[in-house]
Amino acid sequence: MISPKNYTNLLFMTQSHTYDFGIVGNCAFMASIDKRTNVVWMCWPSFDSSFVFGSLLDSKKGGEFTILPVETAFSSHQYYMDNTNILVTEIEDENGKYRVTDFAPRFPQYDRYFRPLMLIRKVEPLSGNPRVNVRCAPKGDYGTKNPERVLGSNHIKYLGIGDEMRLTTNIPLSYVIDDEEPFFLNETKYLVLTYGAPLEAALEKTADEFLRATQKYWQDWVKSTSIGSFHQKAVIRSALALKIHQFEDTGAIIAASTTSLPESPAVAVTGIIVFAGCGILSTPCRLLTILVTLKNRKGILTISPIFLQRKRIVFNPCTASRGNLSWRKRLLIWKDTSEMVL
């Protein structure tokens, strides 16, 4: 058995995996986007739904959403806009350089937070004459279903994998349908992928307004927190990442946006997302020690009153034997900011 102390030591002793991507989200969904601009993991409409993009686990069956240069040799630089969950990927090859800005809209509107099932991708040329290929190929039912594609005037519908998915763009649709056909990126292009309610507004203007509002929201959110100067930049980035792991409908924190990929080779230690009948996403035990502290820090987390009244079952990775997923169930009841383990 692995004790809590030895569990921590084990993680330091083993070589950790690195997953080279950034995350965007709005407390309704999350997307993992790698340095090749590919959305390698995204589940819709809920955190526990099937992925619509899942090449992180299976590059052949997981679908793809990329904006790649024609040349196979290129450099990539990925970063976040300061104090936000807005991800920027800059791609450069021998033809030129361009930037892809990815975000999930989140900002206050009509006395509540606007957080639609919407992924916005803004593609801007920076130098030279970049030529790019755009490919959007979502999947359904964990990679077993290919949606039917129906073309509109400026959008593509993806049908048969749940509610309607729609890609609205100012890129000529022939370049998106025929993803082997590159085009010169000589002006800013937008791609807005939605689930359920589509975008029914001016594309360019709305996307830029959502971008500005989302950037302001996250930067104001950071200003509202009580984060000290000790390793401030790293703590802010961690707080931003943790915030979008929150399912705002209930206030619960999901265990892992990537369904608990292993932290280290040959170590059966992950955070497991499970249900407890009431549909509340659970939290791994290693996060429980910080949740109460974060709740008491102004602005970091808002725990819903509904969540405080629910009972949840959490699997405790600290009691797992190496190589054997024999988990011990713990029943957790939250009341105010205290935790009881029964």
- CA–CA separation, 334 and 202 (whole Å): 45
Quote the tokens at residue 147: 């949606």
The larger pLDDT score, comparing residue 269 to residue 222, is at 222
Residue 31's closest CA among 106, 103, 137? Answer: 103
Every domain of the chain with CATH number 2.70.98 lies at 21-220
Average pLDDT of every residue of the chain: 79
Enter the DSSP assignment of 113: E
Side-chain-side CA neighbours of 168 within 13 Å: the count stands at 17
What distances in angstroms separate CA 310 from CA 122, 214, 305, 327, one per listed residue?
40, 31, 9, 21
Burial of 338 (0-12, 13-18, 19+ CB in 10 A): exposed
Looking only at the bridges linking them, the beta strands covering 107-109 and 112-114 are: antiparallel
pLDDT given at position 278: 27
- pLDDT at residue 334 above 80? no
Q: State the average pLDDT over residues 158-168.
A: 95
Above pLDDT 70, what percent of the chain?
70
**Class for the domain spanning 21-220:** mainly beta
Determine contact, residues 326/297, Cβ cutoff 8 Å.
no
* Rounded (5°) CA angle 20-239-236: 90
Give pTM, 2 decimals.
0.78
Determine contact, residues 243/221, Cβ cutoff 8 Å.
yes
- Where is 291: in which H helix or E strand? helix 285-296
- CA–CA separation, 35 and 30 (whole Å): 16
Q: State the average pLDDT over residues 201-218.
A: 98
- Where is 108: in which H helix or E strand? strand 107-109
